[in-house]
Chain A
């Protein structure tokens, strides 16, 4: 396990470069992101450990970052003052571009993996915005009416965008459909519509009870199954959904974290594997047990079948404070990942070492 101390700054997000297998970026904030400066680190993995390539100190806290998909030296940051900035690690001190439209904290930024000239942002101001790096103003503003913790483009379709909010819903925007783009997205109630499923053990019939809605803090699109995404948040539970059957409840459910889950990331290498970071100071690896699901997988036809209970494969407990960010390495042997937390630590580790 490699360690780097973001001294004086509490980590909020970490991302591996999509271009270099040894490059990472970390977004961090002084005073736990409550008040004070932010800092963006460009870091390199070297035989001598993790070495900072460059860092930038910003006026306000940083809550998220995204690597540019078209420029290997550039990273976007989401800032507490409502701004989004683009930093280039070959240029000292100042960002190469900045956008300021959000009226409150920007909580996530995400670059479109297909249409690489676009990225999106989500904010506490109750909007998701779509941007082009070439333009000064946003291309589109999508209202969510509630604090939006995470927004992401589908990795399979450049025009589909999802976000999760404090109102316990996933919103799906299809930018090609006029009413969706004008603010009438498809909605998936994460806690269940009238009732939600409490998972029994595998194969047992699902018992239905009401689960109260709770803030959803993070979500991610599966990299192999285009219709699957996973959500997690304050209720400590990871759920996966098939966007083709939004009202039929979760496909699989993974309870186990002791406190809210702050970040989740699907594996770039295996379709059933995901990683979570939680306020309970652990990172956990899960399999959603999609191998147990109906093979033909068409929920529209089979109807609700009750969720599968995913399984926790392992946990990493080396952080000593809330873990806020986690990301998989895209390159090399499958299983390397990085996590950051409020303990001012970036840890780079191999998931396989923690699998039971």
Chain B
């Protein structure tokens, strides 16, 4: 290019000063290059080892939710460029069976599939990866998904033995301290009272019961027909699973106070104030706003930005506390601007600590309950939060939401969303 042409180009480029990215009004603006969600669905989340999906492979759950996305959005499946699936436990990351699941779901072989694992935030990471691929122009339409069958794949096989090198490095070795043990220690160190934890856990149950009774989950759940073996009769049946089966009615702080601590005799963490072991899948269909408008897709929300941060492995529970302010800063809004926070309830202890640490009002947190009430299928949760959040924002006529979770080995992720 001649020097004159180069200078003319620089001049035009200099006419684009950075937009002020501050404030709600800027955030809710609509631009053709926004990354938008046109469909976000999940399966029911069921009890690990007992619930409706106890005999269903993770890939089958994924195929079911992908089918749901295609039916629900009426997108031409041939337009899907890439599918990212977050999953924590499957050997080999699940890469092979997830590709199979996409084909079963009716997505043609032209769509690529990848699996990824960022522990409990895998589902969110999958959505963020797809959003970034669209932003970078790699693809036009994509699906970010998450799936976990903890019934079939939870166990020691999911983690490789540590080498001597890692074991001899203190901080590295901390990465394999079990979640419950380190959370118990953190609860002790940071004085998170058991009564506060039980209070929070009970309210999670109560909110979920209420939401389920009012049918607030119906819109986001894809019913799946699966085979299920009755443990009493050993008889194989075909059942339709269309509701979360682990939400217990009548849970109160008093009833939780009677449960014995799980990780230490004098501890505060127990089965009733931690996330449940469960099975489930969720998926989010993403594209550019201009693409959505061209295809006539109904836009339900906008992905704004995400953050990922590291914390000490033994303090993994504080992840959201560190990740949320980073995401808000990137989005140019304050914590008060956010209408709903979906913060994963890995343990009541860490969730309560993060909420208090950030100074957030409890009314804005998980208004339909969380993982304590209906379960935390590890890889699924991050994508599941998107459908839970966007439906609730829309129902209550609110705008801005944040999803976040702590991540095993000491990380945190958060993402900012706008409902439309």
Contacts and interface: CB of A to CB of B under 8 A. Distances in A.
Q: Do A and B come from one complex?
A: yes
Interface of A: 32-35, 61, 80, 105, 124, 147, 214-215, 217, 233-235, 258-260, 262, 279
A215 B14 contact: yes
Contacts of B31: 258
B5 to A, nearest CB: 4
A35 B8 CA distance: 9
Given A124-B11, A233-B15, A259-B15, 7 more contacts: A35-B1, A35-B4, A35-B5, A217-B15, A258-B29, A259-B16, A260-B17
A164 to B, nearest CB: 13
27 contacts: A33-B8, A34-B1, A34-B5, A34-B8, A34-B12, A35-B1, A35-B4, A35-B5, A35-B8, A61-B8, A80-B4, A80-B8, A147-B11, A214-B17, A215-B14, A215-B15, A217-B15, A234-B14, A234-B15, A234-B17, A235-B17, A258-B29, A259-B15, A260-B16, A260-B17, A262-B15, A279-B15
B15 A34 contact: no
B2 interface: yes
Interface of B: 1-2, 4-5, 8-9, 11-12, 14-17, 19, 29, 31
Contact of A258 (B9, B11, B19): B19
B241 to A, nearest CB: 46
Contacts of B14: 215, 234
B17 to A, nearest CB: 5
A258 B17 CA distance: 11
Q: How would you classify the secondary structure of chain A's contact residues: helix, strand, loop or mixed?
A: loop
B16 A279 contact: yes
A217 B15 CA distance: 9
Nearest to B14: A215
B8 A105 contact: yes
A192 to B, nearest CB: 16
**Chain A CB within 10 Å, residue with most, of B12, B15, B19, B31:** B15
A124 to B, nearest CB: 8
Contacts of A279: 15-16
Contacts of A262: 15
A211 to B, nearest CB: 10
B12 to A, nearest CB: 8
A161 to B, nearest CB: 23
B10 to A, nearest CB: 10
A148 to B, nearest CB: 13
Contacts of B12: 32, 34
A74 B16 CA distance: 35
A258 B15 CA distance: 12
A147 B10 CA distance: 13
A33 B19 CA distance: 25
Contacts of B11: 124, 147
A86 B17 CA distance: 35
A215 B11 CA distance: 10
Contacts of B1: 34-35
A235 B20 CA distance: 10
Nearest to B2: A35
A80 B12 CA distance: 14
Contacts of A61: 8
Contacts of B4: 35, 80
A124 B31 CA distance: 32
B15 A260 contact: yes
Contacts of A214: 17
B294 to A, nearest CB: 13
Nearest to A259: B16
A107 to B, nearest CB: 10
Contacts of B9: 34
B21 to A, nearest CB: 12
Nearest to A260: B15
Contacts of A33: 8
Nearest to B19: A258
A9 B31 CA distance: 27
Contacts of A105: 8
Contacts of A32: 12
Contacts of B15: 215, 217, 233-234, 259-260, 262, 279
Contacts of A124: 11
A250 to B, nearest CB: 18
A214 B16 CA distance: 10
Contacts of B16: 234, 259-260, 279
